[in-house]
Structure 1
Amino acid sequence: ITMSNPVQSFWWLLFVYFCNDVDGQIRYTIPEELDVGSVVGNIAKDLGVEVADIPNRKLRIASEAGKRYFSLDLRKGELVVSERIDREGLCEQSVPCLLPLEFVFENPLQLFRVEIEIQDINDNFPSFLTDERVLKISELVAPGAKFLLDNAQDADVGANSLRSYKISKNDHFKLNIKTHKDGSKIPELLLEKSLDREEQSVHRLVLTALDGGNPPRSGTAQITVIVLDINDNAPQFENSSYEAVLKENTPIGTVILKVKATDIDEGLNGEVKYLFGDQTPDAIASLFNINAQTGEIIVNGQLDYEQTNVHKFDILARDKGNPEMEGHSSVQIDIMDVNDNVPEITITSLTSPVPENSTIGTVIALISAKDLDSRENGKVKLSVTPSALFKLSPSVSNHHALITNGLLDRESYSEYNIEIIATDCGSFALFTKKTITVSISDVNDNPPVFSLPSYSVYVNENGAPGEILFTVSASDSDLGDNAKISYTILDSKVQDASVSSYVYINSDNGSIYSMHSFDYEKLKVFQIHVQAKDHGSPSLSSNVTVHVFILDQNDNVPAVIYPFAVMGSVSHQKMPRSAKAGHLVTKVTAVDADSGHNAWVSYKLVEATDASLFSVNLYTGEVRTKRAVSEQDDSSHRLLIEIKDNGEPVQSATVTVGISLEDGVHEPILDFRQHKSHEPASKSNKITFYLIVSLASVSAVSFLTFAILAVRCIRSSASRACCCVRRGDSDEYNNNPNRNLHIQLNTDGPIKYVEVLGGDMLSQSQSFRSCLSPVSEFSDFTFVKPSSTTDFKEMINVLDASLPDSAWTFESQQPIPKVEGTRSSRTHSG
């Protein structure tokens, strides 16, 4: 009997100790959103441990939350931030926000508790649930009426939380702020001046919410007031707010309270129905219900104190008038905790096996217990069996050390199943058990790797901005944060611009998106250097190159460069009536700025005055006679020629050519000489005489012009075999630097045609030269100016159809680059 009293006293004192909180030993205060790697404090110094002793004692963080957000720099003994810390995500609105850490020394086994207080920074904007609130207010409502507005939410706390509201300047309303018991502020719209629907039927206001940060952050919502001219009395609640207290185990269907509102109107305008406010969260609607006729608020779901201990929502009383009027009130329901959660046992550290010669008091494990309930319902006491060989010794806070209480003998028992029992201090105590196994023994540690070494991406031009181009993928054989990969694009240049102006990458999944539409004619290929970096500390990374090839699309219409014709006009050509079948009348030439198959053009005669007389070559665009011209043929013909490219979809253009049949037009010199001897002298008459005089006059003028130009040309280029007139880098060309062209004027009987070679559409320097053959029998001279694809028609228009069959050359001063889709065509002038 004398021995039982001390034992009973010991267990009573131990029970009182376990059912009371134990404060932490060390507390650090840091702001949220600290950079990874920031030092929180020197834990070694604060624990009184030399830095040199840390490796031997194997200091580590035991709590899971601590391992996630913090790491130990064992070389300096510092506690550093290893992951972004968001106070709102950890503690929501709770103040202060404490993150408990547990530090364990393995040799000898020892545990310390450290609390990290996370201070709020102003990193959240006040925000409204909706961007617009519509209020319907009767024009008969008297000044002084108040209308409840949606309150804003700010995830920050303290000085950084929501502080004030303001409303845009207007003549009818001002803002009134209602403060609840918990300090929350609810904005109300106060009518200062009577409304007149006939004067202004809609008022648009801007409600601004401001927080207390420095500088303050703000959020806005649009308030639209629609003025009504009927049903001028709104229902009024008996109370501006209602409160109730419920236990978390209140059964579904229980009536919490009954609200009541009255409307002094008569008939339907005075009949009231009750409903939740427009902005009531779905979570509230799932837990509570309101009877539309009686105003009873009823439990509709399972309440949970541990999840939310207070519920706030707005209720409306709306009449049945036309238009409807409504009154507002607020409800606050406080939830009381009941002992509905069993204690949870956590094995913080376990040493196994344990040497059999361990002395009494050897620490085997560190054990903690917690209960999600509050107050006495959440306080836990622990016990252990078998108690003859093991016992629990209080440690820091709610942690306990499992130690040996007797001598161990491996030969007797090589393994023990130790049962830990945790019991809470509620009036109806709940308990849980956990078994740990301890063995008794005799005395005596990659960078991310991409799936491919490089990637090739093929992208169509003219794609919509924001389209996904490609997704790179890397893997990491590590675990946890060390295997979590972020993707970034390394800075490089594409056409003297940063690659980031062309594409961006999703850091989480490696998807690469376009920033704008690509143009194959401007950019054909570029490279993206992607880096994959894991989240370890220090992090490891690897790089890969993505080759992006732009694919040409058929987005350019063929451009007719000969014969030139102004939009809606006709290009006129002349043809002798003596033309035989196969006679080359003219040649249509077109170019396409696209490449490959998209730049291949074909020609088709789609409409003709006489389809039996003319034909167009599908590939060259040559217009030839299908038969000999007869006396019955009309003297004037019109051809409509369509030029199509080979792309998908097909792009096309048309040109209209007018052909005049005339006698003796552009007869070949050879034919003139062959028939000259057969012409009898008697046919010479006055007309012939006049023609000779005219020809002589024109020849004299042409010869004089040619002589002057030849002297100038010889002065500038004495070494050339022909006389050339140059013009390069003209203002007109600089305005249209579209294409390098190699042009050669050839002859086919009486027809002079120009050979055109397409080149780089982006060439910046072009000039053309016209050269007269030294053996030319004519003194005609043609000045050809530099031309783009568009104004090449204007150049061709000045070509003289009566030029001799000599080599005329029009060429670029710069070498013609080899460009995919470069095409050769010939342009004829009749």
Structure 2
Amino acid sequence: MAFSPSLPQVPDSAEERQQPSESEHLGKDMQFGSRPERHNIWKRLARVFSRREEGPGARRLLLSLLLLTVWETGSGQVHYSVLEEAKHGTFVGRIAQDLGLELAELVPRLFRVASKGHGDLLEVNLQNGILFVNSRIDREELCGRSAECSIHLEVIVDRPLQVFHVEVEVKDINDNQPVFPVALKKLFIYESRPPGSRIPLEGASDADIGANSLLTYSLNSNDYFTLDIKRNDDNIKSLGLVLRKVLDREDIPEHHLLVTAVDGGKPELTGTTQVKITLLDVNDNAPEFERTVYRVSLFENAPNGTLAVIVNASDLDEGVNKDIVYSFNTDMSADTLLKFHLDPVSGYISIKGNIDFEETKLYEIQVDATDKGTPPMTGHCTVLVEILDTNDNVPDLVIKSLSLPVLEDAPLGTVIALISVSDRDSGANGQLTCTL
């Protein structure tokens, strides 16, 4: 940002000194300017103070002096954007020019860029002041599924010390195809299952965001099943197969289907999963849970054995066909299996591993209820466990810049160090206060 001062001439004669004082002119008219212009302002200020002027003009002058002093510490913010997976050397921005720095002063003023954890992704050419891509930028690796993704840079120069904040937004490209939990899904259903009944399926996921992650599904042409897609209150798609007509195991013992997911990117990417349905002719009722979705909240670092939720299912059959065993679905991630324990008889789900809010904020647990019939039938439900933050992380303090030694006659206010503090906790737990 440039400044344009408008300063009156300093009065020299007695007649001219009858006009408003120089401090009044400065207090009204002074605007920040280029470095030579600011130097002239300081000289004018020195002459005013040597005359010991008083009054409203002098007060306005003191306010202007304060603003100029604050500006001299140097701060600014610049925004750029870059596509993920951009090639090495891709132009990002003319950072020196946009920060108002001359190319000739970059090296003498020790121009440097700091970025916590991402120091090698972007570099600056000190010959032309251009910010460019230095190494591969993977948005999904950098920010996961977050809607916003930026690389925050601190540009530091000395003599005098100035710090500029530069934000580089990493834009998503459609570089990830939809992926189903398994390539082949095996289902077992009874031949007596009535038309219109729904068989739940696991949908696909896409690591991209926005339109690139919006999925549409299709099913190969067949006579017995249609694809059903529903949305719950959280706008999460629920995928399922709906039976169109009566099945006959003796006629067709197995059905082979192909489910395709297509994302909304350009060009679009696809993923598929095969579904193998084996028909059974005994034990015609599957267990049903009281709720299809259970929701629970737990504080992070809750001790092992803490009860999360109790799931409960029932079966309309008689005898051993209504006895139920609870288990985690085979599609569950290994990490989730390490964190939770499910009692197969009572349906109690409890904690058995360390739960860390900074690591995972939400666990989605798929639970099966399987009866003891021959062959067994299975019902399904989902348990959503939200992890709540606690103040379990100490602030992290890093010295970014240190100017040593300190001269004994250094004036008050001389900057000798630049310190960065951060806290991995969220909300008030992550707000910091620094004291010396």
TM range (shorter): 0.7 to 0.9
Which position in structure 2 is the counterpart of 1:222? Answer: 274
User: Secondary structure in 2 aligned to 1:381?
Assistant: coil
What is the identity, as a one-letter code, of the residue corresponding to 1:351? S
Correspondence for 2:345: 293
1:96 aligns with 2:148: yes
Q: How does 1:18-417 map to 2 (within 5 A)?
A: 25-384=77-436
Q: Unmatched 5+ residue regions in structure 2?
A: 1-74
**Which amino acid in structure 2 is aligned with residue 369 of structure 1?**
V
Measured in 2, the distance between the counterparts of 1:24 and 1:344 equals 24
TM-score normalised by structure 2 residue count: 0.80
Three-state SS of the structure 2 residue aligned to 1:190 is: strand
Per-residue deviation, 1:164: 1.6
Paired positions, count: 362
Q: Deviations over 1:401-458 (max 9, x none)?
A: xxxxxxxxxxxxxxxxxxxxxxxxxxxxxxxxxxxxxxxxxxxxxxxxxxxxxxxxxx
**What is the CA–CA distance in structure 2 between the aligned matches of 1:352 and 1:126, rounded to whole Å?**
55
CA contact under 8 A between 1:128 and 1:152: conserved in structure 2?
Answer: yes
- Provide the secondary structure at the position in 2 that maps to 1:52: helix
Partners of 1:328 and 1:165 lie apart in 2 by 21
CA contact (8 A) 1:55 1:74 kept: yes
CA distance in 1, matches of 2:230, 2:167: 37
Deviation at 1:41, TM superposition (A): 0.8
Alpha-carbon distance change, 122 to 241 in structure 1, aligned in 2, over 3 angstroms: same
TM-score, length of structure 1 as denominator length: 0.43
The alpha carbon displacement at 1:358 in A equals 2.0
CA 1:350–1:240: 2 relative to 1, 3 Å: same
Change (3 A) 1:125 1:144: same
Runs of 4+ in structure 1 over 3 Å off: 180-184
Rounded Cα–Cα distance in structure 2 between residues aligned with 1:235 and 1:189? 18
- Change in Cα spacing, 1:295 to 1:24, as seen in structure 2 (3 Å) is farther
Taking a change above 3 Å as real, the CA distance of residues 29 and 181 of structure 1, as seen in their structure-2 partners, is farther
Tell me if structure 1 keeps the 8 A contact 2:115–2:151: no
Q: Specify the code of the residue in structure 2 equivalent to 1:27.
A: H
The answer as to whether partners of 1:162 and 1:209 remain within 8 angstroms in 2 is no
**Letter of the structure 1 residue corresponding to residue 203 of structure 2:** N
Deviation at 1:354, TM superposition (A): 2.5
Secondary structure of 2:105's aligned partner: helix
SS of the equivalent of 1:36 reads: coil
Please provide the CA RMSD for this pair. 1.5
Letter matched to residue 180 of structure 2: F
Paired residues of 2:423 and 2:430 also in contact (CA < 8 A): yes
Question: Aligned AA for 2:366?
Answer: D
* SS of alignment partner, residue 57 of structure 1: coil
Deviation track 1:784-809 (CA, whole Å, cap 9, x = no partner) reads xxxxxxxxxxxxxxxxxxxxxxxxxx
* Consecutive unaligned residues in structure 1, runs of 5 or more: 1-22, 385-830
Please state whether the residue corresponding to 2:119 is helix, strand or coil.
helix
| 1:133–1:223 CA contact under 8 A, matched in 2 | yes
Equivalent residue of 2:434, what SS? strand
Counterpart of 1:56 in 2: which secondary structure?
Answer: coil
> How many angstroms apart in 1 are the aligned matches of 2:424 and 2:116?
18
- TM superposition shift of 1:66: 4.6
Contact 1:252/1:301, CA 8 A, preserved across alignment: yes
The separation in 1 between residues aligned to 2:93 and 2:191, in whole angstroms, is: 64
Shift of residue 29 of structure 1? Answer: 1.7
**Corresponding residue SS for 2:364:** strand
Structure with bigger gyration radius? 1
Deviation at residue 26 of structure 1 after TM alignment: 2.1
The 2-side partners of 1:252 and 1:289 are apart by 10
For residues 46 and 161 of structure 1, the distance between their equivalents in structure 2, rounded to whole angstroms, comes to 34
* Structure 1 residue 150 displacement after superposition: 2.1
Rounded Cα–Cα distance in structure 2 between residues aligned with 1:56 and 1:175? 67
Corresponding letter in the other structure for 1:52: A
CA contact (8 A) 1:126 1:162 kept: no
CA contact (8 A) 1:153 1:162 kept: no
Q: In 1, distance between residues paired with 2:166 and 2:329?
A: 44
